[in-house]
Structure 1
Amino acid sequence: MAWNQTNNHKPELDPWGKKNSPEQDYSEKKEQKKSNEKKTSINFKKIFYNFNNIINHTTNSKNLLNKKIHPFLILVVIVFFIWCASGFYTIKEAERGVVTNFGKFSHLVEPGLNWRPVFINDVQAVNVETVRELATSGVMLTSDENVVRVEMNIQYKITDPSSYLFSVAYPDDSLRQATDSALRGVIGRSTMDRILTEGRTLVRRDTQKEIEETIQPYHMGLTILDVNFQTARPPEEVKSAFDDAIAARENREQYIREAEAYANEVQPKAHGKAQRILEEAKAYSSRIILEAQGEIVRFLKILPEYKKAKEMTLKRIYIESMERLLSHTKKVFIDKNSNSTLFLSLNNFISDQKKHNKSFLNLTKPIQHKSNFLKKDQEINYLSSLSPNHFLKQRRINSIRNDIKNIERE
């Protein structure tokens, strides 16, 4: 039978067209059953294989993703964020930030929140508001070859932070050395008396000036605010002698100040008194001149009458003079031929006589004090006012003035 020939539901024949025997059919069925079992087992394997392929494919896809985002890249990103966050810093109000780029000065930073690239830029905060102090002292030799111990305090502040950090290696130590050098130079040019007494202010000023001139070429970024010359004292061996000398100078200064105060108090009084005396002298001179002129005028008026009637004029002048003279005397003249009885109060008469004698003694008494001259002038003025035109009284007054002048000369 041919290979492509159908059997029409007849028992199968072998390839040569012969009918198979039952044993052969049984063996064929058995083999077919084995083959079917084999095919069935093969299909399960294929299914398991396919399932494994799917799982492996999923695992491979995850591995592919893991290969695309490498752990090192994640580490780099984290480090970058940490680097950026660590670059923020704050500068205080009294400070200024000095920024350096790989160790080289870049710029200054104002107070507040700022950022810098770490490991590239570095920032140093410098306080520019605080007033710093520097104290120095030592035993030094003066120009007059004396030894004195001096203590000085310097106040300064930073005005240029970049110059303060980079111009000089150790600016504070450099300032200390400049201060010591300037102080020794000024003390060496001064005497001990000047240092210990009135020259302290000049020493302080000269020291500050020399310190500024010394540090200026170095551009240290410092500004000297004040130099306090605290103490200057001699060695202990001669301290007591110098204390006595200083005390004597202080006493001298005190006496000078007291004398000046006294002079300032007395001089205005003396000037006022001198001015008053001058005014009184001018007034007295004017009065005497006017009185003399009045006498001249009076005699010139009497002269024509005297030429006409000499006896009558002389008698009238005599009577007027006696009237003025006797009107101020305490003496009582009576006519001896009169029979009238007079009653006099002897107590009043005696007391008035004592006062008159006392005033006369005061006029002739030597003057011992300046105030007496004024009293004499007042008495002279009083006598002149009583009889300004009487020549006898005028002579008395002139004689008293001459006595006063002689006493003043003595």
Structure 2
Amino acid sequence: MADQNYEININPDWIKKYLGKIIIGLIVLAGIFSGVKTVGPEEEGVVVQLGEYNRTVQPGLSFIIPYGFEKMFKIPVQRQLKQEFGFRTAQASQRSEYVKTGYADESMMLTGDLNLTDVEWVVQYRITDSFKYLFKVRNADKTLRDMSEAAMRKIVGDRTVNEVLTVGRQEVASSVEVLLQKMCDDYENGIRIDQVVLQDVNPPEAVKPSFNAVNEAQQERETLINQAEAEYNRVIPRARGEAEETVQLAEAYALNRVNRAKGEAERFNSLYEAYIQSPEVTKQRIYLETMERIMPKIGNKIIVDDKGNSVLPLLNIDKAKVLKP
């Protein structure tokens, strides 16, 4: 098969005729792509014209002057943002993974009692004013990070290591949140602090075994104190009840003895008065009453007169009580 040669002939007049339109079309197309902006539902668009603030646009489709005359910065004003200190989240999921290597300078702090502690925390915040966020402070995110670290170091530096590591953690987080919000208001950076969360607080690795031993000793001490208080609450009320019962019994016994003594004294006085009036009758009465009390307590009774010569016939009176050999 014979070779075939093809030649393309470009008409110079055609190029001159359409080249300008093509260039204009490309310029217009580039202007459309650079001038049409879409603002997300959680964002605000801040438009800067030749380096000066011009306007703020709401979510939706917007148009700016292209070719660098205007620029738009999209600010997530409806989204909660966060900054992490002492660690970084490598993978966020149900079982998140964290990276701590290389961030010890952020988290290592000196407490008020001159001890070192490793504090990891998270600052959650929102942008409430996009204008202030962009123009009142240079690099607001970096400034907020510096402010957060300064606030945490100040609050931790006013407390002991035991407070920071144990009972004072929530107080530290609340104090940092209040102080950081005040600093944001003073700097007018357009940021509202939602929450400061202490992620993890530990002693440095070099002293962690000793610190754990101290904590175990303190916990054991608290346990023993609680046990002692429980035993105290069990024994002392019972002892007080027994003491109160003994006191009441003694008071009742004393009252009984006093009343009995008073009754006997009054009886003696009445007998004495009766004796003064009738001595013989009173003596006879006393004798009979005494015998009435004594006689029932005596077993076998043998009564004889003073002229009796022998009592042998009377010894078998009580035949029911005969001793058997």
| Structure 1 match to 2:318 | 341
| Structure 2 match to 1:100 | 47
| Structure 2 match to 1:132 | 82
The CA distance in 1 between the partners of 2:295 and 2:130, in whole Å, is 108
| Structure 2 match to 1:185 | 154
Q: How does 1:23-102 map to 2 (within 5 A)?
A: 89=38, 91-92=40-41, 95-100=42-47, 102=49
The CA distance in 1 between the partners of 2:317 and 2:215, in whole Å, is 92
Give, in angstroms, the shift of residue 247 of structure 1. 0.9
Matched, 1:332 2:281: no
Give, in angstroms, the shift of residue 249 of structure 1. 0.9
Give, in angstroms, the shift of residue 118 of structure 1. 5.2
Q: 1:208 to 1:89 in 2, by over 3 A?
A: closer
SS in 2 for 1:128: coil
Give, in angstroms, the shift of residue 253 of structure 1. 1.5
Q: 1:320 to 1:240 in 2, by over 3 A?
A: farther
Matched, 1:210 2:179: yes
SS in 1 for 2:184: helix
Give, in angstroms, the shift of residue 317 of structure 1. 4.2
Residues 149 and 234, structure 1, Cα contact 8 Å, conserved in 2: yes
Letter in 2 for 1:168: V
The CA distance in 1 between the partners of 2:200 and 2:267, in whole Å, is 85
Residues 96 and 161, structure 1, Cα contact 8 Å, conserved in 2: no
Matched, 1:256 2:200: no
Runs of 5+ unmatched residues, structure 1:
1-70, 347-410
Residues 156 and 226, structure 1, Cα contact 8 Å, conserved in 2: yes
The CA distance in 1 between the partners of 2:38 and 2:183, in whole Å, is 37
**1:327-376 CA distance string (max 9 Å, x none):** 6x6x7343385432254699xxxxxxxxxxxxxxxxxxxxxxxxxxxxxx
Q: 1:101 to 1:298 in 2, by over 3 A?
A: same
> Which structure has the highest strand share of the two?
2
**1:240-265 CA distance string (max 9 Å, x none):** 22222111111112222233334444
SS in 1 for 2:107: strand
Residues 98 and 162, structure 1, Cα contact 8 Å, conserved in 2: no
**1:31-70 CA distance string (max 9 Å, x none):** xxxxxxxxxxxxxxxxxxxxxxxxxxxxxxxxxxxxxxxx
Give, in angstroms, the shift of residue 104 of structure 1. 0.9
The CA distance in 2 between the partners of 1:322 and 1:216, in whole Å, is 109
What fraction of aligned residue pairs are identical, expressed as a percent? 29
Q: 1:131 to 1:291 in 2, by over 3 A?
A: farther
Matched, 1:305 2:274: yes
Matched, 1:222 2:191: yes
Residues 115 and 161, structure 2, Cα contact 8 Å, conserved in 1: yes
**1:170-201 CA distance string (max 9 Å, x none):** 32322221222222233333333443444434
SS in 1 for 2:181: helix
Give, in angstroms, the shift of residue 324 of structure 1. 5.1
Runs of 5+ unmatched residues, structure 2:
1-19, 87-105, 304-310
**1:107-142 CA distance string (max 9 Å, x none):** 463x6x565555468462414243535333422233
Q: Normalising by the residue count of structure 2, what TM-score does the alignment of the two structures yield? A: 0.62
1:243 alignment partner, one of 207, 212, 217: 212
The CA distance in 2 between the partners of 1:108 and 1:162, in whole Å, is 12
The CA distance in 1 between the partners of 2:128 and 2:300, in whole Å, is 110
| Structure 1 match to 2:89 | none
| Structure 2 match to 1:38 | none
Residues 100 and 107, structure 1, Cα contact 8 Å, conserved in 2: yes
Task: Tell which has more relative contact order, 1 or 2 (C-alpha 8 A, sep 6+).
Answer: 2
Matched, 1:149 2:114: no
The CA distance in 1 between the partners of 2:264 and 2:214, in whole Å, is 72
Matched, 1:174 2:143: yes
The CA distance in 2 between the partners of 1:209 and 1:176, in whole Å, is 15
**1:203-233 CA distance string (max 9 Å, x none):** 3344334333333311222233333334333
Give, in angstroms, the shift of residue 305 of structure 1. 1.5
RMSD in angstroms over aligned alpha carbons? 4.1
Residues 197 and 246, structure 1, Cα contact 8 Å, conserved in 2: no
Bigger-Rg structure (1/2): 1
Letter in 1 for 2:109: M
Q: 1:202 to 1:312 in 2, by over 3 A?
A: farther
The CA distance in 1 between the partners of 2:122 and 2:253, in whole Å, is 70
